[in-house]
Structure 1
């Protein structure tokens, strides 16, 4: 492996500030890196919220040029009349933030590396060890066949069972596509560092749109795990506005309302079955005869499209 320290630069003055603030333990590291699944923009909105509402200083800048495949994920540029006027330069950075009580913590955000994952993970491990980070936490959203009318559930995962003892397990053993963030958690655990993550379950028919409720759920769990004050209340107005708009669309269509009720039945059947051998066929009972999440989601999306096509602005 090439030297991990050569893919990032550390601001010496900000580093001194981090080290001076450490009293036996360094700052927590929260990461919400874009590029992997992030239903409802849960992780992206967490990063945007923290940077908007808390003071920050740039601590680490990764060399994105070494980590990106530009032809598979092209940045955007603006052409104005006769000239190229701007370039949306990709970045992967770590900022030093202070929570609502002035407690410092780190936020890693930006683009997920396309290449050199092991080198990138080794670089983050160097930073974790240099700044005595006691806990690394990742957040993102995943689409699930659940209705928006039920409390959001979360899949919690960690390098030690004790870190997620208060969270129910929704899955058994599954094989899924890897991400740089999941590899980071795995490698940190293998090297003896505490790391965990929260994947918020977002209604799959809302996965492509901003869903602030998911970011609220993620932030609340990060607060609980770390004791940080992350100003969650500032996200509540956006969450309430989104909830009201969804309810308006549901109330405007009896067919959409029926789809939501079917999802509610499916969700409730799942919830009753937690802890049994099969979520879909509880022990000693007949299997629940319900549509699949994909069928319900397709039906919901079809009705939403018909609503849009029939609107005056369509």
Structure 2
């Protein structure tokens, strides 16, 4: 089956009340945490391509040029950026759909409608979006999750933090409304990544996203490789700051900010917020410089 906007690559997929997981590159994904979490889902669910969207309709090649594979002067291949919907099953047998690839550069409403129509046709029962953003948080605490949804009922079903802020939206945010309009529960799950490590991988945030997926949907993805890396990276970062009292003090300040938010202590939160305003960017800059010197 071929639609003007997409091509159905296989017609032998029998899906039962699948969950749709969305993570498109090109928007905020600090430390690549969301991409790594989705890769763990794709690997454990053994997904395979179901639908491929038309590149010419949704991708700006000037912004996302194909990669030319040049071998001894021979132009052997061009690797294009594809938006795909893949299908698989979780280890417990739950059907999973994964929407991945570059975030569309154009025709957002058209793309959202196409995804919404496909979701209804395939019987999608829930949409989850993954993302990660840099935040004034310490690496010595578990990565915290925040959430977004057009539905207060969906928000009430999870324990994640909630914010009030006006920010540019990504495609996942648009899809939340598309699903909500079609009576499909939609939830965006965001991991907070310590801003001083947001330029490197941060598996703790990826693991937190997988835990958030489990809480929101009941689907458990182990992500053993990611979880094995958490302790190793924690030790590496601890070692980097161990001999610097100034950086240790900065981490303690960030811990105070984090703990105040978790404990919902208004006085402590206000004090921590003032600390963040005064020193948040300085902390990031100094620790990033420290990391560069260590490298």
User: Do the structures match in fold with TM over 0.5?
Assistant: yes
State the match for 1:195 in structure 2.
186
The question of 1:307 aligning with 2:294 is answered yes
Name the Cα RMSD after superposition.
2.4
Instruction: Give CA deviations for 1:46-93 in whole Å, capped at 9, x if unaligned.
Output: 121122233222111111222111212334323333122333321111
Structure 1 portions without partners, runs of 5+: 309-314
Structure 1 residues 259 and 87 mapped into 2: Cα distance closer, same or farther (>3 Å)?
A: farther
State the match for 2:101 in structure 1.
110
Report the Cα offset of residue 171 of structure 1: 1.8
State the match for 2:12 in structure 1.
14
Report the Cα offset of residue 252 of structure 1: 4.5
Is the contact between residue 145 and residue 161 of structure 2 (CA under 8 Å) also seen in structure 1? no
Q: Secondary structure at the match of 2:123?
A: coil
Q: Which one of the candidate residues 171, 176, 179 is aligned to 2:163?
A: 171
Q: Secondary structure at the match of 1:146?
A: coil
Report the Cα offset of residue 159 of structure 1: 2.9
Report the Cα offset of residue 167 of structure 1: 2.1
Structure 2 portions without partners, runs of 5+: none
TM-score, normalization by structure 2 = 0.90
Is the contact between residue 143 and residue 193 of structure 2 (CA under 8 Å) also seen in structure 1? yes
Q: Secondary structure at the match of 2:4?
A: helix
State the match for 2:118 in structure 1.
127
Instruction: Give CA deviations for 1:4-63 in whole Å, capped at 9, x if unaligned.
Output: 942111134333x22xxx2xxx11111111110001212110121122233222111111
Q: Which one of the candidate residues 134, 142, 145 is aligned to 2:136?
A: 145
Q: Secondary structure at the match of 1:142?
A: strand
State the match for 2:217 in structure 1.
226
Report the Cα offset of residue 146 of structure 1: 0.7
TM-score, normalization by structure 1 = 0.85
> Larger Rg: 1 or 2?
1
Instruction: Give CA deviations for 1:144-171 in whole Å, capped at 9, x if unaligned.
Output: 0111011211111223222222325442
Give 4+ residue runs of structure 1 displaced > 6 Å after superposition.
Answer: none
Q: Secondary structure at the match of 2:270?
A: coil
